[in-house]
Amino acid sequence: MRVATWNVNSIRARVGRVVDWLVREDVDVLAMQEIKCKESQFPFEAFQEAGYEVVLHGLNQWNGVAFASRLPMHEVTNTFTGMPGFGKVLDDGSLPQEARALGVTVDGVRLWSLYVPNGRALDDPHYTYKLAWLHELAEQTRSWIAADPAQPLALMGDWNIAPLDTDVWDRSVFEGSTHVSVPERAAFAEFEALGLADVVRPLVPTGYTYWDYKQLRFPRNEGMRIDFIMGSPAFADLVTSARIDRDERKGDAPSDHVPVVVDLELAPEDDDDRPMIFG
């Protein structure tokens, strides 16, 4: 099963690129972030014509997460317990929930499409929100693994964190800013402490997943590695290959992120209809 994650930076602006890539690269399941639309605005038809079912969680023109799959999706969930909100306090005293998390189960593999809050600046309330969001996600991840350690689990998406200095083109440029701060990196490390691993880095040790549109960042390869597939031990054991599709940052109207892809080798299901000689 080929699984990928991609911050598409507006699916309506890039539906042709995304669907063409899905078909060309023979992808079974794609987690998308920053779809930037509500369900009524999503271009379902293009995906359906290519053989993909779509589930999504989108509330407005910001954020938004989705899955496109040509395999059946089950246990669709658009939040996790304790997920913080952000914004103006509602009448009931809670904060509005943003469309940042979507979970599905495909062929026994539990997958989450995640768009971690950006943080904006170290003194911005969004930074505090980001750290709280990651903390609650880690707490839930701990519960998920404890409840069923044998189920393959992957947290995929735009983490908005560069956990290593080599994950940015020049560490000095980011001094005093988000994405590389000690608390953010500690929050990322908490998932590793729970047993999750970046299943791509051992196979693709270098390479970026994001380049800003400004200042010729892509031609200069001034990028960041902030998109990850973090897998449980049961998921990591299934990974046979991985890649970062850098070429998708080229061409007309690309996203500022590129797809991250892994191949999984799943055990074949028992076939009760086989002749007994094969039992």
**What pLDDT digit, counting tens, does each position of 117-170 carry?**
999 999 999 999 999 999 999 999 999 999 999 999 999 999 999 999 999 999
Pairing of strands 153-158, 109-115: parallel
**CA distance linking residue 227 with residue 88, whole number of Å:** 29
> Which tokens hold the place of 131?
């750290």
Which amino acid belongs to residue 56?
L
Rounded Cα–Cα distance for residues 20 and 26 (Å): 10
The span from the CA of 4 to the CA of 148, in Å, is 23
Instruction: Order across the sheet with 74-77: list the strands.
Output: 74-77, 101-106, 109-115, 153-158, 227-231, 197-198
117 touches 160 (CB < 8 A): yes
What whole-number distance in Å separates Cα of residue 217 and Cα of residue 215?
5
Tell me, what's the pLDDT at 192? 98
Cα 21 → chain centroid: 17
Look up the CATH architecture of domain 2-267.
4-Layer Sandwich (3.60)
Task: Give pLDDT tens digits for 1-13.
Answer: 999 999 999 999 9
Please give the average per-residue pLDDT across 39-55, as a whole number.
98
Side chain identity at residue 99, one-letter code = A
- Judge whether 65 and 115 are in contact, CB under 8 Å: yes
Confidence (pTM): 0.95
**Helix H or strand E segment including 246:** none
